[in-house]
């Protein structure tokens, strides 16, 4: 939380845009698969593996890939929020 407050406006805005992009993409993605009702048994493990892969490959803070990883991690956070919100909307 305090790291967010001390960051620059550029970092804050890119982080916020990344979270909202992840939410938007996965909210639409989930709605599409719920309405179709196909390939759920294949897509759920792929999504879980993708999310775990993002968590496990965290580079060092001084790496040149760290900034890209933070953007992808924020997209992941937005996607998880979309999944949880969709579960609450469905009542499960």
**Residue range 8-51, pLDDT digits in tens:** 888 889 999 999 999 999 888 877 776 677 777 777 788 889 88
- pLDDT attached to residue 1: 58
| pTM, rounded to two decimals | 0.80
- pLDDT attached to residue 84: 87
Q: What is the DSSP string of the chain?
A: -HHHHHS-HHHHHHHHHHHHHHHHHHHHHHHHHHHH--SHHHHHHHHHHHHHHHHHTPPPTTSTTHHHHHHHHHHHHHHHHHHHHHHHHHT-
- pLDDT attached to residue 89: 81
- pLDDT attached to residue 2: 66
**Residue range 62-87, pLDDT digits in tens:** 998 999 999 999 999 999 898 888 87
């Amino acid at each position: 939380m305090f790291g967010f407050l001390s960051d620059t406006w550029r970092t804050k805005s890119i982080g916020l845009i990344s979270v909202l992009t992840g939410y938007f993409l996965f909210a639409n993605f989930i709605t599409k698969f719920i309405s179709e009702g196909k390939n759920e048994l294949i897509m759920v493990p792929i999504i879980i593996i993708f999310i775990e892969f993002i968590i496990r490959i965290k580079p060092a803070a001084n790496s040149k890939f760290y900034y890209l990883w933070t953007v992808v991690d924020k997209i992941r956070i937005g996607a998880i929020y979309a999944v949880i919100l969709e579960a609450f909307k469905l009542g499960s």
